[in-house]
Amino acid sequence: MIAARLQLGRADFALDVDLTLPARGISAIFGPSGCGKTTLLRALAGLERARGRVALGNEVWQDDASHVFEPTHRRAIGYVIQEAALFPHLDVRGNLDYGLRRVAASQPGGSAAQRRSALDRAVALLGIGALMTRRATTLSGGERQRVAIARALATSPRLLLLDEPLAALDAARKAEILPYLESLRDEAGIPIVYVSHAVAEVAQLADHLVLMHEGRVAASGPLSETLARTDLALPQGEEAGVVLDARVGARDERWQLARLDLDGADCGLWARDRGHALGRRVRLRVLARDVSLTRAPQTGTSIGNQLRGEVEAIAGDAHPALALVRLRIGGAAPLLARLTRRSADALGLAAGMTVWAQVKTVALLE
């Protein structure tokens, strides 16, 4: 468990958070520019001197009440920023060896063999073994960030802090590095705190979501539930939607489709077949704009995904003519639907009502 209770005041900004984050997976710190995401990350690392307490499990890094403050180099963290900040005169191996020397100097009691083993594992996870003799200046943006993350892991951290690591990359480079970040999440075995203002990144990577607003925590909880809250002003716009966990339940080879059975529900969604084995766990993203509602199941429609659900809440949207409806599909994670207020009124929508959700598009997050 990561526990942080921090306060920091400036002339035009104040950070005031009290957070508990899980000790595994990716916790995403999400919100618009200027809300305090990077300041919080820097305070966790000890780079910003906020007041309060920071602890990772039983290890206390800061406790002002007890006059404890471990400097950054004494905290078992890896830290990666937007720019990879590699040494341009060194090749990839030289940059990684620098990380090993740094941790050896700050933690002289550690085992060199263990550190080398940790680095070798990071190289394999991030797929950079073939880049070892390449100069940093010859790498693509995605390759540089993968090397930077491996260098951070070379310090054998107990916590990895990533500050918008994809923000400086174009769409192609982001697509290149996202699968490696997923592998890191699933296999590295250490908690990751990931700062982002991009909903798509958070949906694909995060397990836990912290929504920041003007230096404070507006919400914190499991990703699927927090994304689906209608009482929060999540800055998603057209990207409002939910993330669902599922398993590949069946395959329709004729039409190249796969049925993705939702966790906790006796139903599934048909999506384009990606060739995954039956039973494999997958993560889905369904945008609210791709969900329409009816009072009864429909026939003679091109929309093949129809799920029976119950209306849980109806809230306003960023646009005055639109409404955001939260549904519960069996025992699965909630679903969001965006429709006009006029349509909501015509349907007579109210909490507790049974409706059918027509899902037009399902994004399989891989």
* Boundaries of every domain in the chain: 2-227, 239-365
Residues 6+ apart with CB under 8 A from 216: 16, 17, 36
- pTM for this predicted structure: 0.85
Q: Are 335 and 355 in contact (CB under 8 A)?
A: no
CA–CA gap between residue 278 and residue 293 (Å, rounded): 30
> Is pLDDT at 234 greater than 90 in this prediction?
no
CA–CA gap between residue 208 and residue 232 (Å, rounded): 16
CA–CA gap between residue 193 and residue 208 (Å, rounded): 9
Share of the chain above pLDDT 70, in %: 93
pLDDT at 357: 94
> Is pLDDT at 273 greater than 60 in this prediction?
yes
Q: What is the token pair recorded at 154?
A: 């070379």
Order across the sheet with 77-80: list the strands: 68-69, 59-63, 51-56, 2-9, 14-21, 216-222, 208-213, 26-30, 192-196, 159-163, 77-80
What is 2-227's CATH topology?
A: Rossmann fold (3.40.50)
Q: Enumerate the H helices of 46-170 as residue ranges.
A: 92-106, 112-126, 141-153
Query: Does residue 191 or residue 109 have the better pLDDT?
Result: 191
**What does residue 51 show for φ and ψ, rounded to 5 degrees?**
-90, 145
Mean pLDDT of the chain: 87
> Is pLDDT at 16 greater than 60 in this prediction?
yes
CA–CA gap between residue 83 and residue 111 (Å, rounded): 30
Amino acid at 49: R
pLDDT at 353: 95
Q: Are 210 and 199 in contact (CB under 8 A)?
A: no
pLDDT at 318: 65
Question: What digits encode the pLDDT tens for the residues 137-158?
Answer: 898 888 888 888 888 888 788 9
Question: What digits encode the pLDDT tens for the residues 54-73?
Answer: 999 999 999 999 999 999 98
CA distances from 227 to 129, 221, 224, 287, 360 (A): 37, 9, 6, 11, 19
pLDDT at 6: 94
CATH number of 239-365: 2.40.50.100
Least confident interval from 119-128, 304-313, 344-353:
119-128
| Domain pair 2-227 / 239-365, same fold | no
